[in-house]
Structures are given as structure tokens and as C-alpha cells.
A = this chain, B = another copy of it.
Amino acid sequence: MNARSLSESMAHKVERQLRGDILTLALPPGARISEQEIGERYGSSRQPGREALIALAKSRLVEILPQRGAVVARISVAKLMQAAFIRETIETAVVKAACNAFHFHARTRISDCLRAQEEAAESGDRAAFRRGDDLFHKTLAEGAGLPMAWSVVEDLKAHIDRACCLSLHAPHTLSKLVAEHHAIVAAIDRRDEGAAMTAMNAHLSELLHDLPKLEAQHPDLFE
């Protein structure tokens, strides 16, 4: 009945799926969730559900109200802007470091990654595109010798992505994002610190442009 032996524990599986459902807004911000409910939803008992909630509370994707329950964290404009700022700070430092030294092996993976993203952009596969985006930024950090930077950014990015899911899904944005990735890589290849940092800033700061509009559109999802 269970498949623990197949390498992943139930608790991790539940955590991963729950995180996915929260990130895609399948579970909307503000939704109440109980251990029991989570367990049933993903086919386990309460215990793995509880552990998933504890884990996600650490990344602040759910808020645990002691003795009462848990809710999917609402989107906070203030926190979102802070997360964006901190992410920008870190990733700018990463590309700067990348200009000084970039691991050869990571450079080839970056190219693979860009190609994959181009395909995803053309076919409009947003899920694949997002995976590619994560991989791009992750590989960039690894190439710069700062893999830990990605693990820090990853948590921040989760919150930002959740807001992005609300944003209108204009099809042309995907290819635009790919173009920005290319610009960043090109600057790194030229070892042009200034251009690389500028390109990264431009890439990251676009996401927050229509935040006020989103809040007006979905007031119940915000704090």
C-alpha cells in the first residue's frame, strides 16, 4: 500500500505536493487547512500531514495558529516587496561574482537550460517554464560558486511566484523572460559586471509592476 521503499517518504511527498498546490494557488491564500484534511487529500494519515505543515510553516507558506489550525499564508504586499528586494540584492551579487569566475560545467548546463526554456516558451507550457526558470537561477548560483545563494533565494522566490500566478498570463511575457536570461548570460560571458547586474535587476524588478492592480482585483487573497 505504501511506497516508502521507492525512495521518498510519505511526509516529503505530501510536503512537495502541498507546496505545489499552494504555489499554484490551487489552495488559495487564506484557506484553512487541518492535518487531517491534508492527510486525506494526499492519501496518508495525519502525521505526514502535520510534518508537511511544520515544514511549510518554516518557509512561511502556511501559518500555524497554535491549538487552532493552520491557514495558507495570505499575500502581504510589504513582505512581497521585501522578498523582492532581498532577492534582487542576492542575485545581483551572484551575477557579479559570476563575472569574476564561472564554472565551465555550469556554463554548458546554462545553455541547455536556455534551450529548454525557449521550447517551453514556444509551446506555452508554463509549468515547464517555471521549472526551467528555477533551474536557470539555481545553475547561475552554482556556477558562481554560491550554491547556498539559491537555497536562500528559493524560499523568497516561492512567495513572489505565488503573486506572479495571479498576474495575467500574457503569452509573450515568456519569451521576453527568456530574452532577459540570454542578456544576463551574455553579459557574464563578456565579464561585464555592470551590464550583468543591470540585466539581472531589470529581469527581477518587472514582476512587481502590477502588484497594486492585483491587490485591487483579489483583496481576499492579501493581508
Task: Give the B-binding residues of A (Cβ under 8 A).
Answer: 9, 51, 54-55, 58-59, 66, 79, 82-83, 85-86, 89-90, 93, 97, 145-149, 152, 156
Contacts and interface: CB of A to CB of B under 8 A. Distances in A.
A83 B148 contact: yes
Contacts of A149: 82, 86
A87 B24 CA distance: 30
22 contacts: A51-B51, A51-B54, A54-B54, A54-B55, A55-B58, A58-B58, A58-B59, A79-B148, A82-B145, A82-B148, A82-B149, A83-B148, A85-B93, A85-B97, A85-B146, A86-B90, A86-B93, A86-B146, A86-B148, A89-B90, A89-B93, A152-B156
Kindly report how many copies of this chain are found in the complex they form together.
2
A188 B79 CA distance: 23
Given A86-B152, A89-B90, A152-B152, 16 more contacts: A58-B58, A58-B59, A79-B148, A82-B145, A82-B148, A82-B149, A83-B148, A85-B93, A85-B97, A86-B90, A86-B93, A86-B146, A86-B148, A86-B149, A89-B89, A89-B93
Would you list the 9 A-B pairs with minimal beta carbon distance, nearest first? A82-B148, A89-B93, A58-B58, A82-B146, A86-B149, A89-B89, A89-B90, A51-B54, A54-B54
